[in-house]
Amino acid sequence: MHPIYLDNASTSFPKPACVPDAVYRYMTACGSNVSRGGYRSAYSAEELVFETRERLCALFHGGDARCVVFTPNITTSLNLLLKGFLHPGDHVLVSAMEHNAVMRPLRQLEAAGVMFDRVPCNPDGTLRLSEAEALVRKNTRLFVCLHASNVCGTLLPVEAIGAFCLRHQLRFFLDSAQTAGVFPIDMQTCHIDAVAFTGHKGLLGPQGTGGIVLREDLVQELTPLLAGGTGSMSHTEFMPEFLPDRFEPGTMNLPGLAGLHAALGFLMETGLDTVRAHELALTKRFLEGLRPMQADGRLQILGLPGTENRAGVVSVQTTARDCADIAAELDETFGISTRVGLHCAPAAHQTLGTFPTGTIRFSFGFFNTEDDADRAAAALDALTKEAAHGF
């Protein structure tokens, strides 16, 4: 039985062949640290890291490659942004669909005097942005939100949010976990001050890679989250003020960044339009396969009805049998990997009406096929029929 991986919203798999090749090549042929050696392989490592910054800057339409800061993951990126920017007495706007990577740092900051309000969303995950007007206060400094829900795939209107922030003189931080590498993100057009990204999902790189693309005029408003050695300004015990060293203490995950560099090259060659068209075609095919099951009441499809304003993520809630049991049997009987539960996003599930039971999530990647979508729909059909008839 050929296994089917449909948990790409968690981490993409498989990776392009060039990615593990680049990781292996770095670890066997280079192995040096950046900014810590005056020899050829160290210079080669520095060049690779800088090229990776340049590729990310181009991808997100940032201003200066020095404003691309690397972190171990997007959770660290969001902690750096939120804890570095906000102060007691500040007020923040978030959507009602946020992941805990945003909400848990905000809850910690709330205990220190930061306040936030949730901009309401509809039961399909769409943002009611017009209702944000009444939530803006004199001390509101920031709107932070995800680009697409990791639960149901619904896209938030980033360009409209950016215009709203510009009108109210708010900073705008974007969590691109579910869209980077698939959907275009233009920091200039959308007035985004910081894009937090992860390397291991749509960017097709290794785990342990992430970062932020910053607008240059934001930099001095951010207090670094960590401090330590940078390989620069070693005569002083104070952190450098210049970029990217200001936010990058310690040894980087250089094998991971080598893999991310290769993954970005693959995406540049393939084209985001091609990636997105393929993933959404599979999502549409899968949704069409689920329609009969929804029509006869065996399951509920969450989110928007089609693929417009949707990423390649589909969540369902089964009616006659527990979602966790269905997900386990999808794996054990059919070899299909999914994600079940609350997906680290309890607020999203409360908005969608699926809290506390959660859903089964199917998420498509560039290397999935039409056969994967068809087999997943057929397996779900068989399991929900059994449950409906009490087998």
| Strand 4-5 to 313-318 pairing | unpaired
Domain boundary among 211, 238, 270: 270
Q: What is the mean pLDDT of residues 226-236?
A: 80
29 with 100, same domain: the answer is: yes
Give the pTM.
0.95
Q: Would you place residue 85 in the very low, low, confident or very high pLDDT band (cuts 50, 70, 90)?
A: very high
| pLDDT beyond 60 at 244 | yes
Domain that holds residue 331: 4-13+272-388
Rounded to an integer, the average pLDDT of 283-303 is 97
Last residue of a domain, one of 227, 253, 270: 270
Write the pLDDT tens digit of every residue in 195-207: 999 999 999 999 9
311 and 266 in one domain?
A: no
Q: In which band, very low, low, confident or very high, does the pLDDT at 36 lie, cut at 50, 70 and 90?
A: low
Residue 93 has pLDDT above 60, yes or no: yes
pLDDT tens per residue across span 296-323: 999 999 999 999 999 999 999 998 889 9
Q: Are residues 313 and 324 both part of a single domain?
A: yes
* Total domains in the fold of the chain: 2
**280 and 214 fall within a common domain:** no
> Do 277 and 236 have their domain in common?
no
Pair (34, 175) in one structural domain = yes
Q: Residue 291: which CATH number?
A: 3.90.1150.10
* Residues 139 and 62 occupy one common structural domain: yes
Q: What is the pLDDT of residue 237?
A: 79
Given 239, 270, 301, the domain boundary residue is: 270
